[in-house]
Structure 1
Amino acid sequence: MQAKFIGRAGIAVATITMGAAATLAAAPSALASTPAQAPATLAAANTCPTWSVTGKAVNLRSGPSTNYRSLGLLYRWSDSGTEVGSSGDWIKTKLDHKSETGIKKGTTGWVHKKYLEQCVYMQLD
């Protein structure tokens, strides 16, 4: 009697904090023909452009340094934006919605990277 093993193909996405890359590992779909086959590993680029504010109250600035004027404050987890540019450790972001402090949706401004967290796409099976 010959035993058959057919593995279910799956995708796992490991999320790592900002600044690190996510990795994508694909499991082999069947081991019947080549039992010594190793799982394929692919590098996945994090293409999610959305950033969430992680600082308590962060200035949205008109330029990429503290020398530029503040356009208003953004609050932790309730305010987010889409990246439209960067300069060094500063991210230029376009607000996804009206901020808690009343900054209009679509306003662009600069926030230092240490006060932001980039989203990571995940597939949950």
Structure 2
Amino acid sequence: MRNKPSPNGVALGLLSPRDWVRATKKSGHWYKVTTNTKTTSGLKEGTSGWVRSRHLKPETCMQIN
């Protein structure tokens, strides 16, 4: 996860395949994401940053009230 949509952006931390994030914006091949929970590498819940699309796997989640 980086602070801007570029490989030159400052690294904020790592995401693992088990971490869940919410994508909120797209810029080229990059998505702005926010962590849903504390990540396995220790990023706090609610941390936002940019991730290259090839490192993300889309999932569908549904909430039923």
Q: TM-score of the superposition, structure 2-length normalised? A: 0.87
Q: 1:121 Cα shift?
A: 5.8
Q: Which residue of 2 aligns with 1:74?
A: 15
Q: 1:109 Cα shift?
A: 0.5
Structure 2 residue runs without a partner (length 5+): none
State the structure with bigger RCO (CA 8 A, min sep 6), 1 or 2: 2
Alignment of 1:53-64 (within 5 A): 60-64=1-5
Residues of 2 paired with 1:121 and 1:109: CA distance? 21
Q: Secondary structure at the match of 2:7?
A: coil
For residues 94 and 121 of structure 1, do their structure 2 counterparts lie closer, same or farther at Cα, with a shift above 3 Å needed? closer
Moved segments of 4+, more than 2 Å: none
How many residues are treated as equivalent by the alignment?
A: 62
Larger Rg: 1
Residues of 2 paired with 1:84 and 1:63: CA distance? 14
Question: Superposition RMSD on alpha carbons, in Å?
Answer: 1.5
Q: TM-score of the superposition, structure 1-length normalised? A: 0.47
More strand by share: 1
